[in-house]
Structure 1
Amino acid sequence: MRRIRAAAVGAVTLPLVLTAAACGGGSSGHGGSNEQPKSLTYWASNQGASIEVDKKVLQPELDKFEKETGIKVKLEVVPWADLLNRILTATTSGQGPDVLNIGNTWSASLQSSGALLPWNAENFEAIGGKDRFVPSALGSTGVRGQDPAAVPLYSMAYALYYNKSMFKNAGIEKPPATWDELVETGKKLSKDGKWALGAEGSNLSNNIHQVFVLGKQHGADFFTADGKADFTSDGAVAAVKQYVDLMGKDKIVAPGNAEYAQNQSLSDFANGNTAMVLWQTASATFQAQGMTEDEWGVAPAPVPSGAPGQGTATNSMVAGINLAVFKNTRNIDGAKKFVKFMTSDGEQTILNTAYGSIPPVKAAQQDPAFNTPALAVLRDTLATSATALPQVPEESQFETVVGTAVKELFAEAAAGRPATTESVRAKLEKAQQQMPKK
């Protein structure tokens, strides 16, 4: 999932979804006549440098779909800060789109609402078959053992992006491969009003992505094998403290980053104010902000020691965007045709090239457009060292409450109160108390 900041109300809303979804209802413009409408409403998540960039990317493809099928698609690009709560409201009210983007980490949470169309064998066959998709992408489409709640659309992974000229001017020959190297390198770069590393302390889900990976490196999963929240283990506490310490203790992240939300760290990087950023599939955003490809490099995200891999050498979550259908749409056939169109080999090449992401469709991955050095790092990460976030119904609450805990710790660090083991554990205990009891 990309650039998400879900509001705290999500933790309150989701339990209501589980009871209200069974009440039925209709999507926006649905209900009344049984006549199949000749239009669809599509909520697209903000993938480009701005909402306007997304409209420029998507509208020509939607026009193409209308020309082929006669079905007009009404597009709304929804900012990440609003998307989860908009979806949760739609599942309870029945007033939502026909087709929508969801962050792949939300799949299990939204699946439990019962509002999304299950992608059983028949539905997959209608879009060309399940075996067209890369297995790792299908692994983040819902609870294992159940029919997926969505279909993969864009695949992404985290990497370390670095400014080549800033590294050269500081006498640094190569990007850091371990966290110790990153801190050491960062102290050489944080001077003269510039900072080594960008962060987005107010971006809740980015906070989760970073501390989840660090948690894996510390041997923590944040959930037990039976799906219970486990936020206060020593590994989870160490992971959160390590991330916040990049600002409070190591002083390689600007204190102002505590207030940063969606894309602000990318703007600082593009403008030469920070030398590094940990981000998922960011090349298209840098280009949209005026950087040329020779100005930045990309390397695997850091690990404690040695090479990236599984377990404690994990260096990314399995990131991506899924395409879902509200099952109460009045235009189910049109919705399936749209999903088939968006996941076709040709459209996968067009859309993933535009966004700098990787197609989750096997055939489209073979296009030369996805053989660049930058994308090779991301493909290797997805194949060898990325781990899916927990596919549990409470995942969206996890993003909200733990993401908020990290946000609050960043605010304290920015105010001159660095995190301690005790302060981190207290925040995580508070977050765990906000989770549903099992």
Structure 2
Amino acid sequence: MRRFRTPAKPAVAAAAALSVLAAAGCGGGTATDSEGSNAKPKELTYWATNQGTSLEHDKKVLTPELRKFEKQTGIKVKLEVIPWSSLLDRILAAASSGQGPDVLNIGNTWSSSLQKGGSLLPFDDKTLAKVGGKDRFSPAALAATGAKGKAPAAVPLYSLTYALYYNKKHFEEAGIYKPPATWDELVEDGKKLTKDGRQGLAVEGGDPVENSHHAFVFAKQHGADFFDSEGKPTFDKPGNVKAVKQYVDFVARDKIAAKGNAEYAQRQSVKDFATGKASMLLWQAARSSLLANGMKTSEYGLAPVPLQSAKPPAGRKVTSMVAGINLAVFKNTDNTDGALKFVKFMTSTAEQKVLTRAYGALSPNLEAQKAAPRDPDEKIMREVLADSAAPLPQVPNESQFETLVGTAMKEMFADAAAGRTVSTASVKERLTKAQQQMRK
């Protein structure tokens, strides 16, 4: 998924809310009249996520496309762009009350959690056929649409991958002539680049979700997972402890990321990279944000996220989560046919080319992927998605993992910034605490 944030304690409350929804079978829908019929059968409400540089940017991108849909179908779409920081709470409230949108974007990592809640329309084979069929979408993107063995809770809309962004001029000045391929190389390069008030690497230590995404990738590289085959949490296993410590050590031990990064959230690290305050950045589809902050495409390079070794063991060549946005329909919408027409439109080859270009994302539409990469960024991201990306665990309490582990990491970054030791034992202690909270 792209970006969202929820506080640590409400993660447990959110899980409880999802369980309630599963029992109640609630869903969202459009407004109805006193007799229960659809008051506006030719209107849909759409909740879009903040994909661009601002909410206004998203409205500017989406509005002409929604008008295009209205012209084709006669169905008007009422748009609301919702910040990631409040989206999950809005979805849960809408599902609980029965008053929500007809169609909405969700982070793909929420698919299983919301699927368990029962508030989303299942995309079984019959429903998938109405939006173009299963074969329209890439297998990697479909793998992040819900629990294995169940009908998808949504369909892929935008695909994203993490990559390493690096400042070409800074590298040249430091005598570095290629991007690092391993973490040891990245740390070594980072130390050369950290000087004169500039940091080698910018991280978003104050953002729990950003932290959890990197924890997942690092853990995969260490041969570990945060859930076992039965979906039970294994947060404090040795490989996961190593993974989290390695990432936090960019501030704590290696000192290639600034102490202030412990508080960074809302793309502050992206701004630091774009404005030359940092030389490297680990991010998803940063192009539009970099340009918005004054950086030129010629000033940065892009490479896959580094690995633990140049030749990792089989199964450990993971450099990114399968990030992205899914498009879902509330189960209790009063305009299912119209909602599915909208899903088909948004995931069509022609529309995907428009939207992914505007947002610098990858298209999960296989036909759209046949076109030549629009720029070097897309070329690298396509390769990562095909060769070294893995989906986050599709388990019902995955969203709790992101919040609890990500918040524990936020606390570790705060310790590092304050000069407190971040040891293997202290990392394990915090991950054990997070795991115990998952079991409540």
TM-score, normalisation: structure 1:
0.96
Question: Equivalent residue of 1:186, what SS?
Answer: helix
> Is contact 1:179–1:304 with CA below 8 Å preserved after alignment?
yes
> Is contact 2:18–2:113 with CA below 8 Å preserved after alignment?
no
Please state if 1:265 is matched with 2:269: yes
Match of 2:3 in 1: 3
Match of 2:21 in 1: 20
Which one of 106, 109, 114 corresponds to residue 110 of structure 2?
106
Deviation at 1:13, TM superposition (A): 2.0
From the superposition, tell whether residues 155 and 307 of structure 1 become closer, same or farther in structure 2 (CA, over 3 Å). Answer: farther
Deviation at 1:289, TM superposition (A): 2.3
Please state if 1:286 is matched with 2:290: yes
Cα deviation code 1:246-286 (max 9, x no counterpart): 00110011111111112111111111111110011212221
Cα deviation code 1:64-103 (max 9, x no counterpart): 1112212121111111111122222222222221111111
User: Which residues in structure 2 correspond to 1:4-403 (within 5 Å)?
Assistant: 4-8=4-8, 9-21=10-22, 22-24=24-26, 26-27=28-29, 29-30=31-32, 32=34, 33-35=36-38, 37-306=41-310, 311-368=315-372, 370-403=373-406
Cα deviation code 1:281-338 (max 9, x no counterpart): 2122212222221111001101011157862221111111100010111111111111
Give the letter aligned to residue 244 of structure 1: V
Question: Equivalent residue of 2:279, what SS?
Answer: strand
Match of 1:420 in 2: 423
> Is contact 2:30–2:334 with CA below 8 Å preserved after alignment?
no
Q: In the aligned structure 2, how far is the partner of 1:330 from the partner of 1:7?
A: 33
Question: Equivalent residue of 2:325, what SS?
Answer: strand
Cα deviation code 1:88-127 (max 9, x no counterpart): 2222222221111111111111100000000011111111
Question: Equivalent residue of 2:201, what SS?
Answer: strand
Give the letter aligned to residue 10 of structure 1: A
Deviation at 1:419, TM superposition (A): 1.1
Counting matched residue pairs gives 436
Q: In the aligned structure 2, how far is the partner of 1:222 from the partner of 1:408?
A: 19
Question: Equivalent residue of 2:334, what SS?
Answer: coil
Alignment RMSD: 1.5
> Is contact 1:349–1:367 with CA below 8 Å preserved after alignment?
no
Give the letter aligned to residue 435 of structure 1: M
From the superposition, tell whether residues 30 and 174 of structure 1 become closer, same or farther in structure 2 (CA, over 3 Å). Answer: farther
Q: In the aligned structure 2, how far is the partner of 1:253 from the partner of 1:418?
A: 16
Question: Equivalent residue of 1:101, what SS?
Answer: strand
Q: In the aligned structure 2, how far is the partner of 1:31 from the partner of 1:161?
A: 52
Q: In the aligned structure 1, how far is the partner of 2:113 from the partner of 2:251?
A: 32
From the superposition, tell whether residues 146 and 310 of structure 1 become closer, same or farther in structure 2 (CA, over 3 Å). Answer: farther
Cα deviation code 1:369-398 (max 9, x no counterpart): x25322121111111111111000010111
Give the letter aligned to residue 295 of structure 1: E
Deviation at 1:54, TM superposition (A): 1.0
Percent identical:
59
> Is contact 2:27–2:118 with CA below 8 Å preserved after alignment?
no
> Is contact 1:153–1:322 with CA below 8 Å preserved after alignment?
yes
Q: In the aligned structure 2, how far is the partner of 1:261 from the partner of 1:151?
A: 28
Q: In the aligned structure 2, how far is the partner of 1:117 from the partner of 1:98?
A: 10
Tell which deviates more after alignment, 283-292 or 412-421.
283-292
Q: In the aligned structure 1, how far is the partner of 2:12 from the partner of 2:89?
A: 10
Question: Equivalent residue of 1:196, what SS?
Answer: coil
> Is contact 1:10–1:88 with CA below 8 Å preserved after alignment?
no
TM-score, normalisation: structure 2:
0.96
Question: Equivalent residue of 1:2, what SS?
Answer: coil
> Is contact 2:28–2:94 with CA below 8 Å preserved after alignment?
no
Question: Equivalent residue of 1:197, what SS?
Answer: coil
Q: In the aligned structure 2, how far is the partner of 1:31 from the partner of 1:150?
A: 28
* Unaligned ranges ≥5, structure 2: none
Q: In the aligned structure 2, how far is the partner of 1:296 from the partner of 1:31?
A: 55
Give the letter aligned to residue 233 of structure 2: A
Give the letter aligned to residue 270 of structure 2: L
Deviation at 1:178, TM superposition (A): 0.4
> Is contact 1:309–1:315 with CA below 8 Å preserved after alignment?
no
Deviation at 1:25, TM superposition (A): 5.7
Tell which deviates more after alignment, 327-336 or 84-93.
84-93
Q: In the aligned structure 1, how far is the partner of 2:397 from the partner of 2:226?
A: 11
Q: In the aligned structure 2, how far is the partner of 1:24 from the partner of 1:168?
A: 57
Question: Equivalent residue of 2:438, what SS?
Answer: coil
Tell which deviates more after alignment, 79-88 or 111-120.
79-88
Please state if 1:436 is matched with 2:424: no
Give the letter aligned to residue 169 of structure 1: E
Cα deviation code 1:336-392 (max 9, x no counterpart): 111011001110000001111111001111223x25322121111111111111000
